Structure 1
């Protein structure tokens, strides 16, 4: 499990979720963009709730590994979506254009 420190608060979530959130935040920061991302977090009483994070160039997020805080939180669909979003920011592609009989990517 990972303890995310954000805005003076601590949020407990799964390893893969935390890693995907941080990777997406780094990618957005590199592009000077920001997004709101919702992830599952475990409360002190063991319940699972959603928390929204504004991530981007000004985000100050720290994550550390913690043990014995209950079962690992997992959300494969969320992790996959965050990884896809990260790839989209890091390697954007555009529609193919026909230039002088050759295919080329639109630079926009």
Structure 2
């Protein structure tokens, strides 16, 4: 388990694979000078699945930090597939194009 530390004010507890995917996507968005809103799968204090929506943008710091292991790790297969697709699309943007080519 890891915390996604968002903007120094919000900590989202999620699985290692989800946290790693979020930071990779944030880096891809930064590299391509883009932003996006993602709904990070998490679980509340009682283990009920929920999501936290965050804006990932170049000016907003995102960091990962270790968290205690938890048996209530959120499900994230669909999230991981979608975030992988978005990461590839963000990395495909030609930032030197004028106007920028947004991968379309």
Q: TM-score range by the shorter chain?
A: 0.7 to 0.9
Give the count of matched residue pairs. Answer: 94
TM-score if structure 2 supplies the norm length? Answer: 0.78
Is 1:91 matched with 2:92? Answer: yes
Structure with the higher strand share, 1 or 2: 1
> Which whole-Å CA distance do the structure 2 matches of 1:18 and 1:68 have between them?
13
Does the aligned pair in 2 maintain the 1:33–1:57 contact within 8 Å?
yes
Indicate if the aligned counterparts of 1:11 and 1:42 stay in contact, CA closer than 8 A.
Answer: no
Aligned counterparts, 1:25-64, within 5 A: 25-64=26-65
| Structure 1 residue ranges without an equivalent (≥5) | 94-107
Runs of 4+ in 1 over 4 A off after TM superposition: none
After superposition, the CA RMSD in angstroms is 1.8
Offset of 1:29 from its aligned partner?
Answer: 0.7
Structure 2, unmatched stretches of 5+, are 95-100
Cα distance in 2 for residues equivalent to 1:23 and 1:41: 18
- Aligned with 2:22: secondary structure? helix
